[in-house]
Structure 1
């Protein structure tokens, strides 16, 4: 059964459609704000450094890019040092009336988790650099647990497969209580590494988490999307993990691009009817849209089968 359905007009945003020079637009965070859909996406410039840009839509399908960039590497320390090679792969989480952006800060020292915030998508303020290298793919939970913020991320350690961890913080700056939640499984589609895709989605059954898994082939990496479920009250507890993938490269725009064989989701918008709009980067080249029923993804986590 196909639970994720691609929009037949994909891709919805390409490098040719934005008002600035670049080689790729991809990996968009997504949110509904003030009645409009907002994408905050990665733009790879011709010097190979990445910045973040915005696009808006009334229907979640046809997007108009804004002029200029929303966020560029900072010129203020300590961010300047650790963002010198670019800022990448944003995610957006609303907590109270503030929208927090987690992103990858890339430099000669490796990749760190950066956190920024906005209330209007006009002005963006950096909060902190929130990890040691090498760490990326951080997503914040939209609720606190015992007064603590929580996040999922993907730290990397020599000799260990990149896995999904959870951490907690009283202030978004100081993090601890870290635990490993999900590791790559041998001889599976996600056997090389796993990482969070979109911020956790609250459901009556638990926190639905969409993640990416990587399988290495003789022709390079293949990026797919999967799902797992965490307990509502204790997000350190994994309730279920679907053994199969929910999405894998199969269209020409997912096979051919800057990095072939990639579907990489960074944004999801839940509609009132239970539909999820999933926004993803295809082949590190363009931005695409797919939809899924929330209850179907939850059911996969509970059943666990492939």
Structure 2
């Protein structure tokens, strides 16, 4: 599917690491592994804001027979060293440590969040707000913050992030009165619950959210079921956006008729349309280490989001190699588009995605696509 605007607006070379929260602390060279998976919202001045995940990586993670990771501490950022013989380093983004009865992982990068202001149409960068960076500040974020999502509910902006540490892989909440100055609220979901998306509006006075609990064990659906066992998009409700209760009704589940949704998770915060809550989400087809990430869409019932009005099984967005051809020297994954933000722009939506875990992609999607 082609769109009137479909372009990269931010790439790793656009990031000034001399203004990074890690700058001057590690004593070794770092580089921008990716500037990607941007949350998207409209600022009070009419411009758009991307909250970009900047993955700052060690240029040489393996030194003297050891592989290293970056860690936040109260006294600054430090390096940890692990014997190479204990680690599987096949994936450049991380390494897996052997010797436990379960999977143990460390990262070769640490992610922080950079607010990037765009023009009202999302096509041009106006300003990088390095003075508004959101960085780790506590032990439950010692390995970084990832994949922000921003929702405006009433007169307040709410931002969920994934906070990474050995303590827990939790969802943390920030709030703002202007979408630029963010205040940390609290941990709101516990271990390995990713892609939390707060609906842009309340239902019967309640906040609603999509969640995606992870695990290594899923129970089988009955033989012949239309659903496939595995990660799915669940729902939760809250009176205050801090205390969340899982909703009894299931959300969007992987379909047994296609391997394109063998793994799935939330993409953009649901926004209210005439048909119901429009939500863009990702489905992952197994392939090699990472898989093929595509963007799909569904409309959920306005009063009961556990009821799906329509789901489109053809992908809305797929990876666009022609957009990243000039970044070939920086590519480390392929076949990945990860949609993370949406904003209303009249007759179309401005859709923000991470492309190839590397760059920020902006697409103008006509509203007629969702009719």
Which TM-score applies when normalising by structure 1? 0.88
Taking the aligned partners of 1:168 and 1:223, their CA distance within structure 2 comes to 28
Note the C-alpha offset of 1:206. Answer: 0.8
The alignment partner of 1:211 has SS state of: strand
> Aligned pair count?
289
Q: 1:225 aligns with which of 287, 295, 308?
A: 295
Taking the aligned partners of 2:304 and 2:241, their CA distance within structure 1 comes to 19
The alignment partner of 1:35 has SS state of: coil
Residue in 1 that maps onto 2:355: 282
Query: Taking structure 1 as reference, are residues 195 and 269 closer, same or farther at Cα in structure 2, changes over 3 Å only?
Result: same
Residue in 2 that maps onto 1:302: none
Query: Taking structure 1 as reference, are residues 174 and 127 closer, same or farther at Cα in structure 2, changes over 3 Å only?
Result: same
Q: 1:44 aligns with which of 39, 55, 58?
A: 55
Query: Taking structure 1 as reference, are residues 282 and 173 closer, same or farther at Cα in structure 2, changes over 3 Å only?
Result: same
Residue in 2 that maps onto 1:215: 285
Note the C-alpha offset of 1:195. Answer: 0.8
Residue in 2 that maps onto 1:267: 341
Q: Is the 8 A contact 1:254 1:262 kept in 2?
A: no
Deviations 1:75-103 (CA, angstroms, capped at 9, x unpaired): xxxxx222111101011101111110011
Residue in 2 that maps onto 1:27: 37
Provide structure 1 residue ranges, at least 5 long, that are not aligned to the other structure.
75-79, 300-306
The alignment partner of 1:30 has SS state of: strand
Q: Is residue 66 of structure 1 aligned with residue 129 of structure 2?
A: yes
Q: Is the 8 A contact 2:115 2:180 kept in 1?
A: no
Q: What are the residue-to-residue correspondences of 1:121-160 with 2, within 5 Å?
A: 121-160=179-218
Query: Taking structure 1 as reference, are residues 184 and 110 closer, same or farther at Cα in structure 2, changes over 3 Å only?
Result: farther
Q: Is residue 190 of structure 1 aligned with residue 260 of structure 2?
A: yes
Provide structure 2 residue ranges, at least 5 long, that are not aligned to the other structure.
18-30, 59-108, 219-229
Residue in 1 that maps onto 2:5: 7
Structure number with greater Rg is: 2
Taking the aligned partners of 1:254 and 1:192, their CA distance within structure 2 comes to 26
Note the C-alpha offset of 1:6. Answer: 6.7
Residue in 1 that maps onto 2:269: 199
Q: Is the 8 A contact 1:192 1:215 kept in 2?
A: yes
Which TM-score applies when normalising by structure 2? 0.73
Residue in 2 that maps onto 1:303: none
Note the C-alpha offset of 1:230. Answer: 0.6
Q: Is the 8 A contact 1:6 1:289 kept in 2?
A: no
Taking the aligned partners of 2:333 and 2:187, their CA distance within structure 1 comes to 27
Residue in 1 that maps onto 2:116: 55
RMSD: 1.9
The alignment partner of 1:162 has SS state of: coil
Note the C-alpha offset of 1:245. Answer: 1.1
Residue in 1 that maps onto 2:222: none
